Structure 1
Amino acid sequence: MDIVLEVCDTFFFDHLYAKLFPLPPAVAGLVLQHQQQQLQQQLVEKTTTSTFDLLFNSNVSFIPQSPYEYTLIEAPATAYLTTIARTNLARQAVSLFFITWIFGILIYFTFASLSYLLIFDKRTFNHPKYLKNQMRLEIQQTMSSIPLMSLYTVPWFLAELHGYSLLYWNKDDYPSWHLVAQYPLFIAFTDFGIYLIHRGLHHPSLYKSFHKPHHKWIMPTPYASHAFHPIDGYLQSLPYHIFPFIFPLHKISYLILFTFINIWTVLIHDGEYMTNNPVVNGAACHTLHHLYFNYNYGQFTTLWDRIGGSYRRPENSLFDSQAKMDKKTWSKQVNEMERIVQTVEDDDDRQYAGDSDEKKTN
């Protein structure tokens, strides 16, 4: 997160903190004079180096610049004109909180909306277990949870920022094969961790308090992808944060994987069953989890569900555009779902979109 924080500091937070917590004018003048002298010296000493070399050539070292030990972007003058320096722990925590919160919302709405517009089958609205005002409720749940999930996540980012993780920048620190191997290793590690945590959240002592809010959506839309109880969402994110404290991970790979995780979470809630691959835990597998609760806990693969005896293969009808929306298919799903929900939740307190219509006909 140091890369993201530096970019945000340079283009936003430096100016904000300088405005909110400015140095006394006399001190600010001395600081600016000192910085101008340093800049002139750097212009004399600086050699011509391409951006590509700076980013990817390990033989090129970054010019040490205060307030960071190594930087990718030259800090603006405002970085030095505040009493709350970039190195201030409280400032870092506050900045990381808002970065995580805002970027979480942006990623959520961007990819959930793209999925909704381009992929999601709108006939799902007619399913008997689609909730009244469901998309609005999904978004409300997400918007109320993301700030708290962001807050819980800040300590992990602070620990990374201060060098306690195995995140690295210099690609020559590890063998070249590691740049490729870290991706499947990350997927395998987090898939196992999420399986254990997710299955644990279905234990009766935890389910109703923490995981039930996400299972409110029997037929989810892409906007249900992040609609968790905040503790549920945080717990299921733990493997992602733990990984770089156990295994080396390149900082760029970290950002790529963080983005991929959020996109994948949307894709398994989009209701478009593109693959019936027995290894991949896709949208079809995850739809069965929302319908029948006690199956397909995995995030990326079906491996641990198979080992743990919780795998359920999606029916062939789900991959037929007409059959998956057929009333006979829906009736079969509803009958089984209602039997299971009595066991898992005792009583179904959801308000379905069709409830009012049924009351009118009665």
Structure 2
Amino acid sequence: MSPLALILVSMLAMTGIIALRYLLSSGGFALATRLTRPGLYKGLDRQIGAEIRWSLWSALIFGVPAGLVAWGWQNRGWTLIYTDLRDYPLWYLPVSVALYLFAHDTWFYWTHRAMHRPALFRVAHAVHHASRPPTAWAAMSFHPWEALTGAVVIPALVFVIPIHVAALGLVLTIMTVMGVTNHMGWEMFPRWLVHGRAGRWLITASHHQRHHDNYRCNYGLYFRFWDRICGTDKGLAPDFATASARASGAAKG
């Protein structure tokens, strides 16, 4: 096969992997929601269908640069991804993960905040906020223009920050879990974490839900750092856990 054909195969393979990852992760947390918060997604079947359709388009958009970079890494040595643990000190493994998460969070904060300018919101970001309330299926529910801003960041980072392939896998896992759990409509993390010292800096569903309620605050993805620095952190959604519990209780009644 020609290099172009192999690149296309790699893009299709990565698209399939990303789509499957989305379906399994969002589907898994949607099932958890059904079991622990029955009735929370009641009446949202049409919305969930739209979330899945937009997300599968996003998987294609994410898969194109990911497939190109994967091919370049394996066949041309383009990237700084490494497989031998001896290439860098072991202490660098957690450092690289932290660097990727911080860089991704920084990119996400500023592009996300820009998406809330009226013109960009109408063109692209309104698709994501059409999920009212968001569900576990909304994690990748983006207009293609917005999906493109998210699709380039990790592929770009592998050219500038060295990372072991397993550490990169961990970054992608954290990205997936946080993306889904921040949108699923209830708080899976314990109260001591959400309302404790760690919760002052980490973003969970209680924090991101307030963004979906108020729109002009809480723009971060993993950390509250940029929101705090820029004065856009408006805290946690009030009575978020209580509201979820009420929905569960109403369904049971």
TM over 0.5: yes
> Partner residue of 2:147?
233
User: Which stretch shows the higher mean deviation, 312-321 or 92-101?
Assistant: 312-321
> Partner residue of 2:114?
200
Matches of 1:262 and 1:230 in 2, distance apart?
A: 18
Please give the per-residue CA displacement for 1:209-241, whole angstroms capped at 9, x wherever unaligned.
111111111211101111111221220233322
Matches of 1:177 and 1:307 in 2, distance apart?
A: 29
- 2:201 counterpart (262, 270, 279): 279
How far residue 153 of structure 1 moved from its aligned partner, in angstroms, is: 4.0
Assess if the C-alpha contact under 8 Å between 2:218 and 2:227 holds in 1: yes
Assess if the C-alpha contact under 8 Å between 1:268 and 1:282 holds in 2: yes
How far residue 132 of structure 1 moved from its aligned partner, in angstroms, is: 6.5
> Partner residue of 1:309?
231
Letter in 2 for 1:243: L
* Secondary structure of the corresponding residue to residue 158 of structure 2: helix
How far residue 134 of structure 1 moved from its aligned partner, in angstroms, is: 1.3
Do structure 1's residue 151 and structure 2's residue 67 form an aligned pair?
A: no
Matches of 1:280 and 1:196 in 2, distance apart?
A: 17
Letter in 1 for 2:58: S
Q: Number of matched residues?
A: 237
- 1:133 counterpart (21, 46, 50): 46
Matches of 2:64 and 2:170 in 1, distance apart?
A: 22
- Output aligned runs, 1:178-197, within 5 Å: 178-197=92-111
Matches of 2:244 and 2:233 in 1, distance apart?
A: 25
- Output aligned runs, 1:44-193, within 5 Å: 84=1, 88-119=2-33, 121-125=37-41, 133-161=46-74, 162-193=76-107
> Partner residue of 1:290?
212
Letter in 2 for 1:124: L
Matches of 1:228 and 1:263 in 2, distance apart?
A: 17
Contiguous gaps of at least 5 residues in structure 1: 1-83, 327-362
- Cα 1:173–1:125 shift into 2, 3 Å: closer
Normalising by structure 2, we get a TM-score of 0.84
Letter in 2 for 1:202: H
Matches of 2:163 and 2:15 in 1, distance apart?
A: 23
Matches of 1:229 and 1:172 in 2, distance apart?
A: 42
Whose radius of gyration is greater, 1 or 2? 1
Matches of 1:218 and 1:281 in 2, distance apart?
A: 20
> Partner residue of 1:318?
240
Assess if the C-alpha contact under 8 Å between 2:80 and 2:162 holds in 1: yes
How far residue 301 of structure 1 moved from its aligned partner, in angstroms, is: 0.8
Assess if the C-alpha contact under 8 Å between 1:317 and 1:323 holds in 2: no
- Cα 1:91–1:255 shift into 2, 3 Å: farther
Bigger relative CO (Cα 8 Å, ≥ 6 apart): 2
- 1:251 counterpart (141, 159, 165): 165
